[in-house]
Structure 1
């Protein structure tokens, strides 16, 4: 299980780095992007190098201590690139540090880490643990503490640099991408703190796990997944927005279905000739075509129903459900259409009543007047939902059928 988590996390990070590198434009110099790419690559390779399965290759003649030292070096390099990335991303000039200073610190840290590893003079057990004598415990413990402290520092700097972007990002997907990366940083802090018990083990027993344990590898894989998800959400914002729009249009298409079907059943002449773009052709062009065609057919049906509008619907609605229902524009429109359909089925027309619909009642409220096709879709979705789901509509239809003198309504 530990090997699977480690290798899976490594594969995800390396795949992300390869995709980012392949999509980079030639000749573009982007220090921020390249620092992030270097961090992702180093972190992915360190996960693979420090996996228990890789360290266990010492049984096949591979020097396990060299593999562990290389893995630690690559992981420390990943932290250095993360620190550089934080310096480049920080929007506050006062908190920016010189990249050259960070590079000098990274080189110095790598040198100290190697010297401490050599001073500890460790050996590798068949089980993959690093052990050292009493004289090497302190150098090995200091090495672990130095790495953990540097990791916490880099993660905190990165968190501080990215936090303002949750408000400054231009689009919703970009903001969600930043939030996912911030969540990955939080997991990284937990992952780093998990290694502090190694200091106690080294000082007490002179023993250190040469590879990452199951918890560490699981946290690493989770961290890698969040980084990839955040990166994809940020880079693929246009695709994400198109997917959200497609889902919303599909929902509107389904919601408008009962109203559209009722109108087409009563007035087959409003239906356009079959053919045209299939429902799912293109993305989201197919659903847009089908939805807008449905909108036009609904409006054609509403025009045909104008002479069937009952003049008392608004008063009935207020009597049965109160003033709140009478001022609900979508419910008023749905009730007007439902009663007009019933009148059409019975052949009852009303002259001089005009079109008493919610749209006409709402003419004074610009918020209720659709200004574009998307707004029209949202409006008709509300009307269709009320037409299908509101309990007021069946009550109005029963009142219409039981209306005294209903049969003497004037004919056009």
Structure 2
């Protein structure tokens, strides 16, 4: 389980780094993106190096101590890039430190980590634990505390830098992107603080897990998943919006189907030539063309039906809850019935019959027209009042 979580987190972060690198090659270079790319790549490498399965390769001739030292060095470098990312993202210039200052801190931490590891002179046990003698316990514990403190510091700086953007992001997907990354930062803080129990263990028993334990690897995998989810939502928000629009148009097209079919069956002349109808499969623009043409055909049919609409439909529905779409649907249904029997009503418009847009809901653009006709079509097919109204009309005319 521990190995699976570690390697899964490593794979996710490395895939994110590879994708970000490909994006950078196609677009302009930006320091913030390069800092994030470096952090993802180095953190993924450290998860893979410090996984129990990697450290346990000593039986295959791999020096476990060297693997642990290398993994810690790579992970510390990842934190340095995370600190750089936090400083670049910080909206307050007063809190930003110079790149040279960041580099000095990063080098100092790396040197201190190496010196403390050398001073502790640990050995690697058969079960993959670092073992220090009584004189080496304090340097080894100080090394754990230094790394945890540096990690928490970097994560807090990143949280402070990102928090204002969670409120000020212009779109919903970008806000969710920042929120997911903030959640990843919180998980990262818990991940870093989890290592503080190792300090007591080192001071008491002189033993330290050479690799990450199961909880640490699970936290690392969760953190990596949140980072990737936040990055993808922010980058693919345009694609998500386009997909959501396409699905919405498909739904409207299907909802209008029964209304369009009824009008087209009664008045075939409203239909455009079939040769102009595009295939919908694999054509994002095809659904828009087909939907908007369906709207035009419905409106053409509605104009033809004006002479056949019954002037008393609105009055018949007066006792029902007011619904302009239902009134319009009932007007179309009764007009179709009158068309089939050749019954015209002179001056129906002037006598108060419903027309498209009555009730203050006149569409102002084509998208609003689509939404309005979708409501009308839904009422035309689903409302139980329309069959009752048609029965009343037949009884009155009979």
TM-score (norm 1): 0.90
Q: 2:358 aligns with which of 357, 361, 366?
A: 361
Rate the CA distance shift 1:378–1:209 in 2: closer, same or farther, 3 A: same
Matched, 1:385 2:382: no
Gap runs ≥5 in structure 1: 408-412
Moved more, 147-156 or 199-208: 199-208
> What's the CA shift for 1:28?
4.1
Matched, 1:351 2:352: no
Matched, 1:20 2:15: no
Q: Give distance in 2, aligned partners of 1:288 and 1:27.
A: 31
Note the 1:1-400 alignment, pairs <5 A.
1-25=1-25, 28-275=28-275, 276-282=277-283, 284-319=284-319, 321=320, 325-326=321-322, 328-354=323-349, 356-359=353-356, 361-362=358-359, 365=360, 368-400=361-393
Rate the CA distance shift 1:193–1:400 in 2: closer, same or farther, 3 A: farther
Rate the CA distance shift 1:358–1:91 in 2: closer, same or farther, 3 A: farther
Rate the CA distance shift 1:41–1:378 in 2: closer, same or farther, 3 A: same
Structure 1 residue matching 2:208: 3-state secondary structure: strand
Structure 2 residue matching 1:388: 3-state secondary structure: helix
Q: Give distance in 2, aligned partners of 1:82 and 1:171.
A: 25
> What's the CA shift for 1:92?
1.6
> What's the CA shift for 1:222?
2.0
Q: Give distance in 1, aligned partners of 2:241 and 2:384.
A: 35
Find runs of 4+ consecutive structure 1 residues off by over 3 angstroms.
25-29
Aligned-residue CA RMSD (Å): 2.0
Structure 1 residue matching 2:194: 3-state secondary structure: helix
Structure 1 residue matching 2:24: 3-state secondary structure: coil
8 A contact 2:173–2:237 mirrored in 1: yes
Rate the CA distance shift 1:144–1:395 in 2: closer, same or farther, 3 A: farther
Gap runs ≥5 in structure 2: none
TM-score (norm 2): 0.93
Moved more, 373-382 or 192-201: 192-201
8 A contact 1:329–1:358 mirrored in 2: no
Task: Name the count of aligned residue pairs.
Answer: 395
Structure 2 residue matching 1:164: 3-state secondary structure: helix
Structure 2 residue matching 1:359: 3-state secondary structure: coil
Moved more, 74-83 or 158-167: 158-167
Rate the CA distance shift 1:223–1:295 in 2: closer, same or farther, 3 A: same
Rate the CA distance shift 1:100–1:395 in 2: closer, same or farther, 3 A: farther
